[in-house]
Amino acid sequence: MKLNTESNVYTIVYVTIVVIIVAFLLAFTYAGLKERSDINEQINKKQQILASLNQRNIAKESVDSIYKSIVKADLIVNQAGEIIKEGKNQDQDGFEIARKDYSKDCLPIYQCEIEGQKKYVLPMVGKGLWGSIWGYISLNEDGKTIYGAYFAHESETAGLGALINEQKFQKQFENQTLIDTDGTILEVVKSGQAGGSPIKCDGITGATLTSNGVNQMIQTYVKFFQAYLDSVKQ
Amino acid sequence: MVHELSLFLRSIFVDNMIFASFLGMCSYLAVSKNVKTSFGLGIAVTFVLVITVPVNYLLQTEVLSETGIFKQDLTYLAFILFIAVIAGITQLVEMLVERFFPALYSALGIFLPLIAVNCAIMGGSLFMQQRIGLEHESSQYIGSIGDAFIYAFSSGIGWLLAIVLLAAIREKMAYTNVPKPLRGLGITFITVGLMAMAFMCFSGLNL
Amino acid sequence: MATNNKEAFLTPLSRNNPILIQVLGICSALAVTAQLEPAIVMGLSVTVITAFSNAIISLIRNTIPKRVRIIIQLVVVATLVTIVSLLLRAFMYDVSVQLSVYIGLIITNCILMGRLEAFAMSNKFVPSLLDGIGSGLGYAWILVVVGAIRELLGSGTLLGFRIIPQAAYDFGYADNGMMTMPAMALILVGCIVWVHRSIVKDIED
């Protein structure tokens, strides 16, 4: 039997069959792997939040249980300090908000507890030199001193701006004052100019624009969170 | 308006397809031997980008995303649909160019069909898809079909600029005494590298 | 037959290398090589995809209607790429984030379409499979070399492990930030082409 592979009918039938096979194959693979990749995405985010609480390098398997034991609630608040959602389930409300949807009316904030001490994790997002940068800063119970910080970036220059992702840069935020009683906010200044001030951190040499981006991001988001932080301080 | 302008300038100079993300390198290196053909290919790439990126933008937001007509996340079909749109549209452009601009058609010759597999075209759509997910303040954010159009147009212009520049340099370089094993491909790579370095100075622009 | 198979596998590694000689698939080659790990993953992904797409197209080559040939090839490639990207997201999440859109760009990697048109459409299953693997590996080794040089000189590490000792830094050695920039990738590939052509003499431009 010899088919005429150039006839119109054959071409149409052939293409249809190929499309159906491909669609099924893809839908099947996607459905099979979706759960796994969603979990990966969540674990990745939880690792970042935990890193800001100085819980770094946790194995993938234990991330979930450690997160559950530390993070007590993922609230959503707004600029006026009002609570929009309570976030009692730890990773269902604030946690579900994607970075791009943060706004002054929708700010996730994580209430945590480490060794009996209350901590707050403030997520933030801004722009670096090439693309987005984001970070999490954790505060002590007093709502002003920094407990730990974590920053990450999409595509900053490796070896320069990309250093914000390294512990060396993040370490210097610890025990600094994020927001003083008179409302001054922590500044990231040119490398070497912080001079031990409790409300300044050194930027990265040769990466002025990325450092400025981090500074800008902190200024913007701390103002957003200010009202809520004031309310918990009392 | 400010956003549109910075997106426009940024796509040409800072996020230049060739120098920052190496998109469309194959035809970039193969066709850049003289300015005239390069210009033609640059125009063709810009043209195809301007049509495919907005079409794929609509496809992504109205059909594939969770808020689209199927109310389901169908992003896993994006690769196939994007490439189908691109292949279809290049076919169309090829026929139009052949019919109305025979001179350009004979100059571009085999390269027009190759546009379908030009990474710059597919890359344009994929970057567009990624940028929908950015924060709205970012100058790279694409939030409307207008943005998609501007992004496509300016990326195309950036590509055109890059290929015409390289072609001009290569025309001059034909008369220089380059070590034999380095001739052709090798020196072209190095030239592009040096051009990319020069373009890096635009990254300081605060857009 | 045996020599044919061997040839199909070996020529793409050097004499007919997709990057160095055929100038195919440069786009993604350069963008992912700032570090070694994504370069390896990218190289392997491309190898798997060229091998499978070559094999599949060669199996069905006699049934494909001429007119829709390119579309069918693209559909097969796009399907394989989607599957690979879903697998990466599920099992190697960190790397898939690093590779971002460049995984999708494998579809338009000219190596694939080039090999499909030039080889798989007119050859039997086994040689096509081998040609696919060979082309993929020929592409991968360049990526790995460029990735290794850039990571070693750019950040002093390989696969994330520190290679250049701290003592060297104390003596005033500094990482070459230039290496991590896109521009250096191009210049490095240019140098590899140079070296390759000085060794393998009889290649015309």
Chains touching B by CB (3 or more pairs below 8 Å): A, C
DSSP label at residue B138: S
C110 Cα to chain B: minimum distance (Å): 7
pLDDT value, residue B164: 93
Q: Which residue range forms the structural domain that includes residue C122? A: 2-204
| Residue-by-residue pLDDT tens, chain B, 207 positions | 788 888 898 888 888 888 887 787 877 887 788 888 888 888 888 888 998 999 999 998 888 887 777 777 787 888 888 888 888 888 887 788 788 888 777 766 656 666 766 778 888 888 888 888 777 777 788 888 899 999 999 999 999 999 999 999 999 888 888 888 788 788 888 898 899 888 888 876 766
Domain count, chain C: 1
A211 Cα to chain B: minimum distance (Å): 13
Residues of B whose CB is below 8 A from C184:
193
Interface contact C183, partner A, CB < 8 A:
no
3-state secondary structure chain A: CCCCCCCHHHHHHHHHHHHHHHHHHHHHHHHHHHHHHHHHHHHHHHHHHHHHCCCCCCCHHHHHHHHHHHEEEEEEECCCCCEEECCCCCCCCHHHCCHHHCECCEEEEEEEEECCEEEEEEEEEEECCCCEEEEEEEECCCCCEEEEEEEEECCCCCCCHHHHHCHHHHHCCCCCECECCCCCECEEECCCCCCCCCCEEECCCCCHHHHHHHHHHHHHHHHHHHHHHHHHHC
Rounded to an integer, what distance in angstroms lies between the CA atom of residue A47 and that of residue A67? 8
Q: Cβ distance C70 to A11 under 8 Å? A: no
Interface contact C179, partner B, CB < 8 A:
no
Rounded to an integer, what distance in angstroms lies between the CA atom of residue C176 and that of residue A158? 10
The proportion of chain A whose per-residue pLDDT surpasses 90, expressed as a percent, equals 6
The stretch C179-186 carries a mean pLDDT of: 80
The proportion of chain C whose per-residue pLDDT surpasses 70, expressed as a percent, equals 94
pLDDT digits (tens, 9 = 90+) for A64-83: 888 888 888 888 888 888 88
pLDDT value, residue B159: 92
Q: Which residue of A has its CA nearest to B132?
A: A100
As for the ipTM of the complex, it is: 0.78
User: Between C27, C31, C205, which is nearest B185 by CB?
Assistant: C205
Q: Which residue bears the tokens 């009918």?
A: A9
C27 Cα to chain A: minimum distance (Å): 18
Q: Which residue of B has its CA nearest to C186?
A: B193
pLDDT at C14 over 80: no
Mean pLDDT estimate for chain A: 85
Asked if B186 lies within 8 A of C186 by C-beta distance, the reply is no
Q: pLDDT band for position C2 (50/70/90)?
A: low
pLDDT value, residue B33: 81
Q: Cβ distance B122 to B52 under 8 Å? A: no
pLDDT digits (tens, 9 = 90+) for C47-66: 999 999 999 999 888 888 87
Contacts of A26 (CB under 8 A, 6+ apart): B76, B77, B80, C79, C82, C83
Interface contact B90, partner A, CB < 8 A:
no
> pTM of this prediction?
0.80
The proportion of chain A whose per-residue pLDDT surpasses 70, expressed as a percent, equals 97
Asked if B193 lies within 8 A of C184 by C-beta distance, the reply is yes
The stretch A118-131 carries a mean pLDDT of: 86
Comparing A59-63, A205-209, C13-17, the range with the smallest average pLDDT is C13-17
Q: Which residue of B has its CA nearest to A125?
A: B135
- Compare A15 and C177 and report the one with higher pLDDT: A15
User: Between A40, A157, A206, which is nearest C93 by CB?
Assistant: A40
Interface contact A5, partner C, CB < 8 A:
yes
Q: Which residue of C has its CA nearest to A2?
A: C63
User: Between C82, C97, C180, which is nearest A157 by CB?
Assistant: C180
Q: Which residue of B has its CA nearest to A210?
A: B204
Contacts of C118 (CB under 8 A, 6+ apart): none
Selected residue of B31, B64, B169, B190 to mutate for chain C interface (largest C Cβ count, 10 A): B190
* CB within 8 Å of chain C, chain B residues 34-73: none
pLDDT value, residue A18: 87
pLDDT digits (tens, 9 = 90+) for A156-209: 776 677 888 888 889 888 888 888 888 888 888 888 888 878 888 888 887 888
Residues of C whose CB is below 8 A from A6:
65-67
User: Between A23, A30, A125, which is nearest B135 by CB?
Assistant: A125
Asked if A131 lies within 8 A of B138 by C-beta distance, the reply is yes
Asked if A159 lies within 8 A of C154 by C-beta distance, the reply is yes
Interface contact A9, partner C, CB < 8 A:
no
Interface contact B198, partner A, CB < 8 A:
no
3-state secondary structure B96-133: HHHHHCHHHHHHHCCHHHHHCCCHHHHHHHHHHHHHCC
User: Between C27, C86, C194, which is nearest B76 by CB?
Assistant: C86
Interface contact C28, partner B, CB < 8 A:
yes
* CB within 8 Å of chain A, chain C residues 36-95: 62-68, 71-72, 75, 79, 82-83, 86-87, 89-91, 93-94
Comparing A211-220, B162-171, C25-34, C45-54, the range with the smallest average pLDDT is C25-34
The stretch A138-151 carries a mean pLDDT of: 89
pLDDT value, residue C1: 45
Q: pLDDT band for position A1 (50/70/90)?
A: very low
Asked if A37 lies within 8 A of C90 by C-beta distance, the reply is yes
Asked if A26 lies within 8 A of B135 by C-beta distance, the reply is no
User: Between B20, B25, B123, which is nearest C101 by CB?
Assistant: B123
pLDDT digits (tens, 9 = 90+) for C83-136: 988 888 888 887 887 776 778 778 877 778 878 888 888 888 888 898 889 888
pLDDT value, residue B110: 58
Chains touching C by CB (3 or more pairs below 8 Å): A, B
Q: Which residue of C has its CA nearest to B184?
A: C205
Residues of A whose CB is below 8 A from C86:
29-30, 33, 37
Q: pLDDT band for position A27 (50/70/90)?
A: confident
Interface contact B138, partner A, CB < 8 A:
yes
Give DSSP secondary structure letters for B55-81: HHHHIIIIIISTTSTT-S--GGGHHHH
Q: How far is Cα of residue A193 from the mean position of the Cα atoms in its chain? A: 28
pLDDT value, residue C3: 64
Asked if B26 lies within 8 A of C24 by C-beta distance, the reply is yes
Residues of A whose CB is below 8 A from B80:
22, 26
Selected residue of C16, C26, C32, C181 to mutate for chain B interface (largest B Cβ count, 10 A): C26
Q: Cβ distance C64 to C122 under 8 Å? A: no
pLDDT at A105 over 90: no
Interface contact A40, partner C, CB < 8 A:
yes
Asked if A99 lies within 8 A of B204 by C-beta distance, the reply is no
